[in-house]
Amino acid sequence: MSAPSRRVEDLDMHKDAPPRPKVGEPCNGCGLCCAYAPCPMAQVRLWQEEGWCSALEWHDGEKRYRCGLVIAPDRHIWYIPRLLRKMAGRYFSRGLATAHGCDFYPADTGR
């Protein structure tokens, strides 16, 4: 799959979204990675190959974006029972390596 022909500057992010952290710094919920292109988990589970990830959610009280596959997978994948929400969320969190820092560096921004 080729890289999306998009520019980070062209993404319409929420006005209160935090700025993108440096590569390796903890995720701060800027949402740019998910708005730029869906992650491999979303590509497989949501059948979405390009564009703004449909699981990206803005949380006004926290002033940040969150991954819906991590916090409420049953809202995005119909076959996950609500009772398994936490377990499925942990699965997606591990698969996305959310605890390992930012790894978003599209071609137009460099590292």
Tens digit of each residue's pLDDT (9 = 90 or more) over 39-54: 999 999 999 998 899 9
Residue 46's domain spans which residues?
Answer: 27-100
The answer to whether residue 85 is domain-embedded is yes
pTM: predicted TM-score of the whole model, two decimal places: 0.82
The answer to whether residue 82 is domain-embedded is yes
Classify each residue of 56-87 as buried b or exposed e, where b means 16 or more C-beta atoms within 10 Å of its C-beta: bbeeeeeebbbbbbbbbbbebeeebeeeeeee
By percentage, how much of the chain surpasses pLDDT 90? 66
The per-residue pLDDT of the chain, averaged, comes to 88
Q: Is it the case that residue 4 has pLDDT exceeding 90? A: no
The answer to whether residue 22 is domain-embedded is no
Q: For the chain, how far is it from start to end, CA to CA, in angstroms?
A: 21
pLDDT of residue 62: 96
